A and B are shown apart, each in its own frame.
Chain A
């Protein structure tokens, strides 16, 4: 059964089409990765799912019910973890969670129980009386999640929930997402960190210019790009590199430099490694390593959209 069904969804701001005739479905019990560069249309889509923006055309159904006609029902069943921290710094962790849970109709003993449960879930049970301004970035992110789950939503939308936090907190949050999923929640997860998406998402959609350009499991997406390969060449004096010359080599689709590694995506059928190395020698660049990479989501994204996820 589909938790979420999006059909022919369009959103226009004046003449600008932010979401263009999008079709998408999220199945019950899956963690659905929603990938797109900045401005691709994913936040607009998420905002329409959460009823923050009006739909220009098309429809969205949550648990089989139209989100416009059954607005209260759909809102009751969605939990939002916004990209920006949406908490009150001057109120305690408990008061924050309790207030938002109260808006979903929870009262009295049930409200107290669910608030404590949410805080325990994100590991802030012992900090319930503390003010968020005394929290680390990771703790604030966890409180941000607690505020979205106390009312036990069926679908949780997490928009970049791990931005700007330390690896420990990131692991904690990723484990929390998996746990929520095991408890029966479906999750829509967006992130700029491709490795997170690879680790936790069961299905992924890539959105570009307001359209879904690919959708499927990790394996299905990777199989799309068997016609390309990626080579990583470690270099010691990267400042001597002539990237434009590398791009001119036959079969090269794209070249990018990340710290001391040149990442080259080429057409699969062409063996151009010799020419690449000859160019590096001409540039008097010292080579430290050469690795042929198996296709990953980042390569898929780059190939399909022509840009990095973090662009």
Chain B
């Protein structure tokens, strides 16, 4: 009963601590919004292209070529390529160099001569691809015309095959986090780790506030006080994470996948890890050093865990630090769970979190028992 009373009192007290509460709620939400918006491009596999301008000098005499070219020109103009006939005496290459056009093409009865812009390489490559496709089809049609004119017309059927001048191929799988999705995950795990900060004050705070004296004089066991505080801190911090996750899901429309229960379970074990770690550090180090140790750990774990920017596979010292970050374990497991429906990915991380938490809690419990007062 005392454990419950202490836990309820602690929760009520934490809810009154508006500064910490605002930090735990607003900080991750603002980070999701800012980083998720600012780094959108870093998570996109596509690029926006403007209009493509093709300067054309057509001196071909062949009527057949002229006819096919006109059909082709109509088809590609629908795809966003604006064709401009070169005026007499105009230096097409210089016009492209001057950035007036994306590419310049000279067409005569011998073929197509292409000159692309080095400034708009993607656009000029697209036009080049279209022209190559035209040239291939024209060569095929010209060959077919000799034996089967109907087949030649079918080959040069621009209206139906306009979109096939450039074949789109993507190396990315369909399911990949956007920036908001990514930051919703990593900021939630990061703020779960921040629970260690407030947890380091659970006993220390009582000593500083002098209320430890009253608690020690009351007929309550140290373990009851300890248990009540751990329960309260875990619950209140988990509620904060829950709020951040649901806010990001329903307001920012972040993708949390189809296994929300497993997501919450993993985050719960991370909060438990953070709370027990905070308590442990508070008992391991002297008062002044506790905050410093905690801040350095949280910042390094956040940075190398991918809370501020995605961290790819690293090697050496950085790789070692990154792999030691509990955030990295949690983030990778959550990504696998959400984007690959890999439920198995979360169990090892949950087990590891719980085991480390248990080790710290046992250490704190033994130390508390040994100490006089607190």
CB within 8 Å of B: which residues of A? 47, 50-54, 71-72, 75-76, 78, 80, 82, 84-88, 90-91, 95, 99-100, 102-105, 107, 147-148
Residue among B13, B214, B220, B372 with the highest chain A CB neighbour number at 10 A: B214
Whether A82 touches B219, Cβ cut-off 8 Å, given contacts A47-B373, A53-B373, A91-B16, is no
Q: Given known contacts A72-B219, A75-B219, A88-B13, what 15 new A-B pairs fall within 8 Å (CB)?
A: A50-B213, A52-B216, A53-B373, A75-B217, A82-B213, A84-B210, A84-B213, A86-B209, A90-B17, A91-B12, A95-B12, A99-B9, A100-B218, A102-B5, A105-B219
Tell whether, in the assembled complex, residue A51 and residue B217 are in contact, meaning their CB atoms are under 8 Å apart.
yes
Nearest B residue (CB) for A54? B372
9 contacting pairs across A/B (C-beta < 8 A) = A51-B216, A75-B219, A88-B13, A91-B9, A91-B13, A95-B9, A100-B214, A103-B219, A107-B1
A80 surroundings in chain B (CB, below 8 A): 213-214, 217
Nearest B residue (CB) for A102? B5
User: Interface residues of B: mostly helix, strand, loop or mixed?
Assistant: helix
B6 surroundings in chain A (CB, below 8 A): 103
Residues 200-228 of chain B: 1 if any A CB is under 8 Å from the residue's CB, otherwise 0?
00000000011101111111100000000
Interface residues of B in 177-209 (CB under 8 A from A): 209
Tell whether, in the assembled complex, residue A86 and residue B210 are in contact, meaning their CB atoms are under 8 Å apart.
yes
Interface residues of B in 1-20 (CB under 8 A from A): 1-2, 5-6, 9, 12-13, 16-17
Nearest B residue (CB) for A76? B219
Tell whether, in the assembled complex, residue A104 and residue B372 are in contact, meaning their CB atoms are under 8 Å apart.
no
Tell whether, in the assembled complex, residue A88 and residue B219 are in contact, meaning their CB atoms are under 8 Å apart.
no
Tell whether, in the assembled complex, residue B210 and residue A103 are in contact, meaning their CB atoms are under 8 Å apart.
no
CA distance A95 to B12 in the complex (A): 10
Tell whether, in the assembled complex, residue A52 and residue B16 are in contact, meaning their CB atoms are under 8 Å apart.
no
Choose among B2, B9, B17, B217 the residue that contacts A52 (Cβ–Cβ < 8 A): B217
A76 surroundings in chain B (CB, below 8 A): 219
Tell whether, in the assembled complex, residue A86 and residue B12 are in contact, meaning their CB atoms are under 8 Å apart.
no
CB within 8 Å of A: which residues of B? 1-2, 5-6, 9, 12-13, 16-17, 209-211, 213-220, 372-373
CA distance A54 to B372 in the complex (A): 7
Tell whether, in the assembled complex, residue A52 and residue B373 are in contact, meaning their CB atoms are under 8 Å apart.
yes
Least CB distance, A190 to chain B, in whole angstroms: 14
Nearest B residue (CB) for A48? B372
Choose among B16, B210, B218, B372 the residue that contacts A53 (Cβ–Cβ < 8 A): B372
Residue among A82, A147, A148 with the highest chain B CB neighbour number at 10 A: A82
Least CB distance, B10 to chain A, in whole angstroms: 10
A91 surroundings in chain B (CB, below 8 A): 9, 12-13, 16
Tell whether, in the assembled complex, residue B218 and residue A88 are in contact, meaning their CB atoms are under 8 Å apart.
no
Least CB distance, A75 to chain B, in whole angstroms: 4
Nearest B residue (CB) for A105? B219
Tell whether, in the assembled complex, residue A147 and residue B214 are in contact, meaning their CB atoms are under 8 Å apart.
yes
Tell whether, in the assembled complex, residue A104 and residue B219 are in contact, meaning their CB atoms are under 8 Å apart.
yes
A87 surroundings in chain B (CB, below 8 A): 211
CA distance A87 to B206 in the complex (A): 10
CA distance A178 to B2 in the complex (A): 32
A82 surroundings in chain B (CB, below 8 A): 210, 213-214
CA distance A105 to B211 in the complex (A): 18
CA distance A91 to B15 in the complex (A): 10
CA distance A102 to B356 in the complex (A): 33
Tell whether, in the assembled complex, residue B213 and residue A86 are in contact, meaning their CB atoms are under 8 Å apart.
yes
CA distance A86 to B220 in the complex (A): 17
A47 surroundings in chain B (CB, below 8 A): 373
CA distance A104 to B219 in the complex (A): 6
CA distance A90 to B10 in the complex (A): 11
Tell whether, in the assembled complex, residue B13 and residue A90 are in contact, meaning their CB atoms are under 8 Å apart.
yes
B209 surroundings in chain A (CB, below 8 A): 86, 88
Tell whether, in the assembled complex, residue B218 and residue A52 are in contact, meaning their CB atoms are under 8 Å apart.
no
CA distance A206 to B218 in the complex (A): 28
A107 surroundings in chain B (CB, below 8 A): 1
CA distance A102 to B218 in the complex (A): 10
Tell whether, in the assembled complex, residue A50 and residue B217 are in contact, meaning their CB atoms are under 8 Å apart.
yes
Least CB distance, B23 to chain A, in whole angstroms: 16
Per CB-CB distance, the 10 closest pairs between chain A and chain B, nearest first, are A103-B218, A75-B219, A84-B210, A86-B210, A90-B16, A50-B217, A80-B217, A52-B373, A86-B214, A72-B219
